[in-house]
Amino acid sequence: MLNKYARAFFTRVLTPFATFLIRRGVSPDTVTLIGTAGVVAGALVFYPRGEFFWGTVVITLFVFSDLVDGNMARQLGRSSRWGAFLDSTLDRVADGAIFGGFALWYAGNGNDNVLCAVSIFCLASGQVVSYTKARGESIGLPVAVNGLVERAERLVISLVAAGFAGLHKFGVPGIQWLLPIALWIVAAGSLVTLIQRVVTVRRESAEAEAAAAAAQGSEAPQ
């Protein structure tokens, strides 16, 4: 849902900025690299110290590069396999840094091994959810399912919760529990999404093999 509606809205909003960067000679790949570097820095510098509000502000400023670089590529007519590969690969790096930052906090001053484990599960399951779709498509299957919690949902839920949880340091009471709740939601949603995709790939694989067998049988000499 977020991919369908929010992405379209922000793409329209960010188009003038993308046009400005093109006029200044900035390439889409440069935006991708800078955006990822900013997200990684925001996550690994602020989150392990429990600075969730400012970390989220920094990450949010850079995470929109994921929309800007694609917009620039379309305007330039340079959409390429390399650009798609680079963008997808660095998305995984950024996601890993965000949930890795949460894990470092809970392993250190956050002093909560359970939430550290949940953060690591969110990190790993998010990577595997992406892999299942990519791997299914690489063997010729459509993988015609998105799932309950995709990357956009994982980021929005986690970052919004982290940003509000960071207000605890500004004197807002009880709000720090939003982040643990969000991590549990993302973990559960990622698990459901993973199961949905695995089941879909299994079904599509069986259908493809049955169709191939039927076609081979029909071509056999009578």
Alpha-carbon gap, residue 179 to 209, rounded angstroms:
44
Q: Which residues are catalytic?
A: 91
**191 CB burial (10 A radius; 0-12, 13-18, 19+):** middle
Closest CA relative to residue 160, chosen from 170, 175, 171: 175
Task: Find out whether 87 is annotated in a ligand binding site.
Answer: yes
Residue 35: both structure tokens together: 């955006």
Task: Find out whether 69 is annotated in a ligand binding site.
Answer: yes
Task: Find out whether 29 is annotated in a ligand binding site.
Answer: yes
Task: Find out whether 193 is annotated in a ligand binding site.
Answer: no
Task: Find out whether 200 is annotated in a ligand binding site.
Answer: no
Task: Find out whether 112 is annotated in a ligand binding site.
Answer: no
Task: Find out whether 31 is annotated in a ligand binding site.
Answer: yes
Task: Find out whether 60 is annotated in a ligand binding site.
Answer: no
Evaluated on CA atoms 30, 83, 85, 103, the torsion sign reads: positive
Q: What is the DSSP string of 112-130?
A: -HHHHHHHHHHHHHHHHHH
Task: Find out whether 74 is annotated in a ligand binding site.
Answer: yes
**Annotated binding site for Mg(2+), which residues?**
66, 69, 87, 91
Residues comprising the binding site?
A: 29-32, 66, 69-70, 74, 80, 87, 91
Annotated binding site for a CDP-1,2-diacyl-sn-glycerol: 29-32, 70, 74, 80
